């Protein structure tokens, strides 16, 4: 029995010893697992610290990237390593961020990170390094290298600017009224002064789209934004109301109704629509194609835009290619010339938003002028001149911005540099298809053909066309701070020269062109018509049926014949048969010594003079033909003086060759953001 008990006790002790070993093994395993987990957790913690140090260093470097890569690198190192004065950095103790672990380059969402920058100016910093993690438990060995990388980029600097033709400032005119006059909309009698308060009001494109009920994603790309805007049209009335409401000018809602009615009445149409955006090589919209380095459209949606610019540009877009009658004075040359003139915008204005490469367009206004013979003159001279005048085109391109070199040396303000090209006018005379007159911007180059410009008694027919080359203004580069306006220099070719060139070219084609006028004699009926016209035009001298009065009128007709013949350039010698009336000599006009003679006798003498031929450069030329041809020169001069000059200066209010450039907004700060 004792032996049995002893065996049982020994067995229990053996099992107890086995249980302790197992428990000890389990405990040791748990300790090891805990230690390994702690070490792994510490390594994850260190990786997070490494990544945080890389992120903060990249952000610090990107914030200084515009000052150059050396400055950005120094800022990144200072953030990571701390300063020598004891300011701690973000790198773990004992570790240092080296210059070779920092790269400067260019980033956008399409090309990712480039180093060195190729696509654009350096705007990003990448911090990438691989370092061994400190150990928490030194007895763990193995690979402890941790690799981290971070890329921070500055949000793109953005500008908003506009270009416009230099306007004549008329005392009492509203700002909007002068702007609209520049695109052919003279809304005299419409109260526009109230809109002047919008000049200083700014609204954002994002706010405008929201007010119009157009949703835009917060992370929209610039390409998507351009496509969205270019594909949307809104009614002009809705757009005007949204602008004034966002600008806090609800009182203008009633004025918008009057303004819209005045525009529709002027054009004779309703349902005016405005395209919001533009694409490359596509129709122009309210906003030119947005250029945003980095490919983000969100920044462009938040930039401030002048409410008055939006009003004016919206109207320019809506009325594009819709012609209005121009208020030109009646042309009166012997009371026999009929003139009509219409004006339309063929290339509408736009507002530029974006970075380097953004462009703003000034409106190109086309005037279509027809000059034709009146019913009285048409039996003798048939004139049909169809004149196109394109003026004034201005294109501003943002070429540099926000660099230290551009800062104002006195105020330190950031500035932008804008290149401006302008075209004073393009002028042509000839046949243009009616559908093309206001439909495209290059009709003088592509849509012009010859036509019968003049027909004198069927003896002189001119079938030709006239084209003056594009008159480019001097290229200018303007440097502006936010809110500033500058004007390009005056073009040396002034309006008077332009009109003179046009008249000279018309005169050359009509009077001294390659075609040689016929020397055939006019018919008796044609001579009688011309005689009656010349005689009737002297009725203002005197009206008595006396020898003296008839003599004065005859002398005036002789003077007209000689002057017009000289204008024609066809005759080189003295006119034969056109003689002075000598007092005391018997003639059918004044009789003899003031006795006898009559009006019919005066006309007979005039007709005989016109029937006679004289020697010209090309042979024998009818006096009548020479007189009629010479009559064209004062007609052409009157076109320049009474139509072109008043139309361009007074009706449109344009100073040719000068362009105003206004930098409305400039955001150079650019916030650094982690992009990778």
- For residue 171, what are the contacts with CB-CB under 8 A and spacing of at least 6? none
pLDDT score recorded for residue 665: 86
- What angle in degrees, to the nearest 10, is found between the helix axes of 599-611 and 524-536? 120
Measured distance CA(530)–CA(480) in Å, rounded: 63
d(CA 664, CA 670): 17
Q: Which residue has tokens 């150059």?
A: 68
Sheet with 102-108, side-by-side order of all strands: 112-114, 102-108, 124-132, 145-154, 672-674
CB contact at 8 A, 473 and 424: yes
Binning the chain into helix, strand and coil, the percentages to the nearest 5 are 40, 25, 35
What distance in Å separates the CA atoms of residue 601 and residue 545, rounded to the nearest whole number? 12
Report the phi/psi class of residue 594: left, alpha or beta, with left for phi > 0 and alpha for psi in -120 to 50: left
460: nearest Cα among 520, 371, 504, 405: 520
Assess contact for 388 and 438: CB atoms under 8 A.
Answer: no
- What secondary structure, in 3-state letters, does 94-107 show? CCCCCHHHEEEEEE
Indicate the domain borders of the chain: 18-149, 158-513+636-674, 524-617
Q: How many other C-beta atoms can be found within 10 angstroms of the C-beta atom of residue 103?
A: 22
Secondary structure class of 282 (helix, strand, coil): coil
Q: What is the pTM of this model?
A: 0.71
Residue 63 in tokens: 């914030």
Contact (CB, 8 A) for 247 and 310: no
- Ranges of the chain whose pLDDT falls below 70: 1-19, 32, 34-41, 84-87, 109-111, 119-120, 135-143, 165-173, 293-295, 327-336, 376, 441, 491-500, 510-520, 569-574, 576-577, 583, 616-619, 647-657
Closest CA relative to residue 150, chosen from 79, 50, 295, 42? 50
Q: What pLDDT sits at residue 512?
A: 55
Q: According to the model, what pLDDT value does residue 5 have? A: 46
């Amino acid at each position: 029995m004792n032996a049995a008990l002893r065996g049982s006790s020994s067995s229990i002790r053996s099992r107890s010893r086995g249980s302790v070993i197992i428990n000890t093994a389990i405990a040791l395993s748990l300790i090891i697992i805990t230690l390994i987990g702690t070490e792994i957790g510490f390594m994850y913690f260190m990786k997070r610290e490494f990544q945080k140090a890389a992120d903060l260093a990249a952000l610090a470097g990107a914030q200084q990237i515009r000052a150059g890569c050396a400055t950005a690198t120094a800022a990144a190192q200072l953030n990571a390593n701390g300063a020598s004065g004891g300011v701690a950095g973000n790198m773990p103790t004992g570790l240092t961020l080296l210059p070779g672990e920092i790269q400067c380059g260019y980033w956008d969402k399409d090309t990712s990170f480039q180093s060195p920058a190729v696509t654009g100016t350096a705007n990003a910093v990448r911090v990438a390094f691989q370092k061994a993690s400190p150990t928490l438990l030194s007895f763990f060995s193995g690979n402890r290298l941790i690799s981290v990388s971070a890329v921070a980029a500055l949000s793109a600097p953005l500008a908003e600017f506009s270009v416009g033709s230099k306007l004549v400032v008329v005392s009492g005119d509203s700002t909007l009224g002068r702007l609209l006059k520049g695109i052919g909309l003279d809304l005299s009698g419409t109260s526009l002064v109230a809109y002047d308060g919008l000049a200083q009001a700014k609204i954002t494109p994002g706010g405008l789209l929201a007010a119009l009920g157009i949703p835009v994603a917060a992370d929209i790309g610039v390409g998507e934004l351009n496509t969205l805007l270019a594909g949307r049209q809104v009614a002009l009335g809705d757009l005007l109301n949204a602008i004034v409401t966002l600008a806090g000018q609800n009182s203008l809602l009633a004025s918008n109704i009057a303004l819209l009615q005045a525009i529709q009445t002027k054009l004779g149409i309703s349902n005016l629509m405005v395209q919001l955006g533009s694409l490359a090589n596509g129709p122009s919209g309210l906003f030119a194609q947005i250029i945003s380095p980095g490919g983000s459209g969100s920044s462009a949606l938040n930039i401030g835009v002048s409410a008055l610019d939006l009003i004016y540009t919206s109207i320019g877009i809506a009325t594009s290619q819709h012609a209005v009658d121009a208020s030109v004075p009646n042309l009166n040359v012997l009371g026999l010339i009929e003139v009509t003139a219409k004006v339309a915008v063929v290339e509408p204005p736009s507002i530029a938003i974006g970075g380097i490469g953004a462009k703003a367009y000034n409106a190109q206004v086309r005037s279509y002028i027809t000059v034709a013979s009146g019913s009285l003159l048409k039996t003798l001279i048939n004139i049909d001149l169809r004149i196109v005048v394109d003026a004034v085109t201005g294109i501003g391109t943002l070429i540099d911005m926000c660099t230290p070199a551009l800062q104002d040396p006195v105020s330190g303000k950031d500035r932008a540099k804008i290149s401006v090209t302008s075209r004073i006018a393009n002028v042509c005379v000839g046949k243009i298809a009616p559908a093309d007159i206001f439909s495209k911007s290059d009709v003088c180059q592509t849509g012009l053909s010859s036509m019968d410009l003049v027909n004198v008694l069927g003896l002189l027919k001119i079938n030709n066309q006239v084209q003056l080359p594009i008159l480019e203004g001097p290229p200018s580069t303007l440097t502006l701070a936010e809110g500033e306006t500058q004007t390009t220099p005056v073009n040396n070719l002034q309006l008077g020269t332009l009109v003179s060139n046009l008249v000279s070219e018309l005169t050359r084609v009509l009077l001294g062109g390659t075609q040689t006028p016929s020397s055939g004699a006019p018919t008796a009926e044609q001579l009688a018509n011309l005689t009656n016209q010349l005689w009737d035009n002297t009725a203002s001298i005197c009206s008595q049926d006396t020898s003296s009065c008839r003599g004065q009128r005859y002398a005036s007709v002789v003077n007209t014949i000689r002057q017009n013949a000289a204008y024609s350039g066809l005759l080189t010698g003295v006119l034969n048969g056109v003689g002075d009336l000598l007092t005391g000599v018997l003639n059918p006009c004044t009789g003899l010594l003031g006795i006898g003679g009559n009006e019919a006798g005066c006309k007979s003498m005039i007709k005989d003079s016109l029937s006679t031929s004289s020697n010209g450069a090309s042979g024998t030329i009818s006096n009548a033909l020479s007189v009629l041809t010479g009559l064209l020169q004062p007609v052409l001069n009157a076109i320049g003086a009474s139509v072109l000059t008043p139309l361009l200066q007074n009706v449109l209010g344009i100073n040719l060759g000068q362009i105003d450039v206004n930098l409305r907004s400039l955001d150079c700060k650019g916030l650094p953001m982690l992009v990778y």
